[in-house]
């Protein structure tokens, strides 16, 4: 007799938000693993918003690419793309329980996505969790050259406009280091986290769901702050 696959167990929204507020986040071993474990790394990756750096080549790409960047128009598609295997990875830490839990969190306003479209086609994006003036970047994907990097630039411009104080990247990768991401100790991270979540953050300062911020506005913001 064939086994019936049970729907993945949702992580309650209150549990997710409470964990992030304490500096803890969930991961799975792989896509088909039903278990979730919780992580509070000894060394934490952050991207200091006041030290954000955009490489010159990407600045040129931002000027000439005719891509549309929006927020919160395709959250489910973004997280599904982040969970899919690709050239850079053969497996993912986003299992089905995590995927469904963050979709539920997004529906309640606690998670956001940035989408990059080439015409009607979704070619890149990222998603994360927002609490107060802290944003916790979870994952990103790219199906076109620099699409995930463009999503990150748009995210940072939006966070800076909205008064955010902390952009948590969990870990530092080569991809993030070129933008200025650094590692800090767990104790230092918890101190910054406590300060940030006590302050208001306005994710929609540059426009709500579906609002597209033009490359000119983004480049001007980058020039003024980097």
Cα gap 176→107, rounded to integer Å: 28
Q: Are 54 and 179 in contact, with CB atoms under 8 Å apart?
A: yes
Between the alpha carbon of residue 141 and those of residues 7, 96, 167, the distances in Å are 25, 17, 18
Report the C-alpha gap between 55 and 216 in whole angstroms.
17
Per-residue b/e over 153-169, b at no fewer than 16 CB within 10 Å? bbbbbbbbbbebbbbbb
pTM: 0.91
State pLDDT tens for residues 176-210. 999 999 999 999 999 999 999 999 999 999 988 88
pLDDT confidence of residue 71: 96
Query: Model confidence over 197-206: pLDDT tens digits?
Result: 999 999 999 9
């Amino acid at each position: 007799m064939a086994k019936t696959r049970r729907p993945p167990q949702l992580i309650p929204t209150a549990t997710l938000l409470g964990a992030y507020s304490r500096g803890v986040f969930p991961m799975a071993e792989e896509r088909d693993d039903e278990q979730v474990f919780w992580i509070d790394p000894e060394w934490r990756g952050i991207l200091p918003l006041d030290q954000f750096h955009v490489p010159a080549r990407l600045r040129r790409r931002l000027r000439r690419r005719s891509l549309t960047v929006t927020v919160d128009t395709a959250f489910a598609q973004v997280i599904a793309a982040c969970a899919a295997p690709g050239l850079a990875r053969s497996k993912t830490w986003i299992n089905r329980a995590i995927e469904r839990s963050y979709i539920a969190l997004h529906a309640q306003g606690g998670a956001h996505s940035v989408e990059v479209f080439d015409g009607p086609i979704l070619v890149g994006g990222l998603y994360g969790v927002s609490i107060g003036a802290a944003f916790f970047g979870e994952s990103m994907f790219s199906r076109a050259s620099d699409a995930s990097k463009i999503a990150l630039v748009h995210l940072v411009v939006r966070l800076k406009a909205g008064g955010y104080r902390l952009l948590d990247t969990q870990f530092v990768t080569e991809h993030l280091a070129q933008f200025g991401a650094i590692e800090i100790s767990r104790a230092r991270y918890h101190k910054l986290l406590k300060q940030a979540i006590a302050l208001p953050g306005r994710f929609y300062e540059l426009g709500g769901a579906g609002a597209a911020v033009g490359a000119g506005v983004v480049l001007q913001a980058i020039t003024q702050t980097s």
